[in-house]
């Protein structure tokens, strides 16, 4: 049974719109930019002091840092 009021309910699948399809060409460029900027990340500020929720290691997170509680 499909309920149009709930976004999480399974319903008929539709093809992505033309705009979303046109934005896919950016993915390789964004990945390359992320790799190129990786050496600069240690120079960036560590945050603004706001608390952050870190979910424990399990299904949602495979990072070893989340398991040990490192900052």
Q: What are 1-55's pLDDT values in tens digits?
A: 555 566 666 677 788 888 888 888 888 999 999 999 999 989 988 888 888 887 7
Q: What is the pTM of this model?
A: 0.41
Q: What is the pLDDT of residue 62?
A: 61
Q: What is the pLDDT of residue 40?
A: 92
Place of tokens 């976004």: 7
Tokens of 43: 């120079």
Q: What is the pLDDT of residue 21?
A: 83
Residue 4 CB partners (closer than 8 Å, separation 6+): 11
DSSP state of 25: G
Q: How far is Cα 62 from Cα 51, in angstroms, rounded to an integer?
A: 21
Tokens of 20: 């979303």
């Amino acid at each position: 049974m499909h309920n149009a009021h709930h976004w999480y309910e399974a319903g008929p699948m539709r093809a992505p719109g033309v705009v979303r399809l046109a934005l896919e060409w950016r993915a390789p460029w964004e990945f390359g930019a992320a790799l190129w900027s990786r050496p600069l990340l240690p120079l960036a500020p560590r945050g603004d002091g706001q608390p952050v929720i870190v979910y424990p290691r399990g299904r949602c997170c495979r990072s070893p840092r989340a398991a040990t509680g490192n900052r």
